[in-house]
């Protein structure tokens, strides 16, 4: 009886302190653990997420760099009329044929074509088209620039996989946007040799895909590769500049 009195006193003392202190400082008598200072707190599994005042802090929302460009220009007005006249002689529709888009702020396209008939000297056919893409910054998907870069890489990969293409050639296209790639190849259509010159350019969070192709008919030769790529490069630069102008 006399030996149980001290134990009873300790139990009553522990009952008078807060629960968290009682668990840490008074459990040694029951579980036999030693070396723990009275009143010490055990680490809590949720301590890392505890906020001042005892609440649980929420994970911070990821942030991304805002997209530079908020809109796209009209694709049919992204290339100067004089350039279209030079690249596509006898163009059928000078204003261009717009592509269908459910979201013009993020996607647009336009094309021009024409056949210059030179009689007994043959004919020359040209096709020019431009596609514009814009990407917003998204906390989950990434910044607009990153998304545009991924899009440009996919466009280049699609061009490299063009069915029936021969003499595929790719090279950097310097001085067009933030980065650009030139893709050239040949194809056979209706027994005629077509020359293709394409520029895939990224400017901040926007992508320009400019395709220019042509062929000679009725005995006229195919257009020169250099001239085709020079034409595509000129038009691509104008399209990149049009995006910047539309966002001033």
Domain boundaries defined on the chain: 4-49, 75-246
Model confidence, pTM:
0.75
Q: 247 falls in which pLDDT band (50, 70, 90)?
A: very high
Who wins on pLDDT, 189 or 58? 189
Helix, strand or coil for residue 68? coil
Q: Rounded to 5 degrees, what angle do the CA atoms 106, 108, 112 make?
A: 165
Residue 18 pLDDT exceeds 90 = no
Mean pLDDT of the chain: 83
Q: What is the distance between the alpha carbons of residues 12 and 16, in angstroms, rounded to a whole number?
A: 7
Sequence-ordered list of residues with C-beta below 8 angstroms from that of 12, at least 6 positions apart, any chain: none
Residue 11 pLDDT exceeds 70 = no
Q: What is the pLDDT of residues 35-91, one digit of tens each?
A: 444 444 444 444 444 445 555 556 666 788 999 999 999 999 999 999 999 999 999
Q: What is the distance between the alpha carbons of residues 125 and 88, in angstroms, rounded to a whole number?
A: 8
Q: Say which DSSP state 119 is in.
A: G
Sequence-ordered list of residues with C-beta below 8 angstroms from that of 187, at least 6 positions apart, any chain: 162, 164, 165, 166, 193, 194, 196
Q: What is the pLDDT of residues 121-162, one digit of tens each?
A: 899 999 999 999 999 999 999 999 999 999 999 999 999 999
| Fold category of 75-246 in CATH | Protein Transport Mog1p; Chain A (3.40.1000)
C-alpha torsion sign, points 66, 70, 75, 78: negative
Tell me the β-bridge partners of 179. Answer: 202
Who wins on pLDDT, 2 or 133? 133
The predicted pLDDT at position 53 comes to 53
The predicted pLDDT at position 155 comes to 98
Integer angstrom CA distances of residue 65 from 68, 142, 143: 9, 9, 6
Helix residue ranges, H only, the chain: 4-15, 19-25, 28-31, 81-87, 144-160, 225-246
First to last CA, the chain: 92
Q: Which range among 62-66, 114-118, 230-234 has the greatest average pLDDT? A: 230-234
């Amino acid at each position: 009886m006399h030996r149980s009195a001290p134990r009873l006193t300790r139990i009553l003392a522990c009952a008078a302190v807060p629960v968290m202190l009682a668990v840490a400082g008074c459990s040694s008598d029951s579980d036999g653990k030693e070396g723990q200072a009275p009143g010490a707190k055990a680490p809590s599994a949720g301590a890392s997420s505890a906020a001042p005042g005892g609440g649980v802090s929420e994970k911070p929302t990821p942030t991304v760099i805002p997209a530079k460009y908020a809109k796209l220009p009209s694709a049919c007005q992204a290339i100067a009329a004089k350039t279209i006249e030079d690249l596509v002689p006898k163009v059928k529709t000078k204003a261009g044929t717009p592509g269908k888009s459910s979201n013009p702020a993020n996607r647009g396209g336009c094309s021009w074509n024409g056949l210059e008939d030179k009689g007994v000297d043959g004919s020359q056919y040209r096709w020019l088209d431009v596609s514009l893409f814009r990407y917003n910054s998204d906390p989950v998907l990434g910044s607009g620039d990153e998304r545009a870069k991924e899009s440009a890489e996919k466009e280049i990969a699609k061009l490299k996989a063009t069915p029936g293409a021969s003499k595929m050639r790719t090279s950097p296209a310097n001085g067009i946007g933030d980065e650009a790639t030139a893709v050239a190849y040949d194809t056979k259509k209706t027994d005629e040799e077509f020359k293709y010159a394409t520029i895939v350019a990224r400017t901040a969070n926007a992508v320009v895909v400019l395709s220019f192709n042509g062929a000679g008919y009725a005995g006229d030769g195919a257009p020169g590769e250099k001239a085709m790529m020079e034409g595509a490069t000129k038009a691509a630069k104008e399209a990149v500049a049009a995006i910047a102008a539309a966002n001033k």
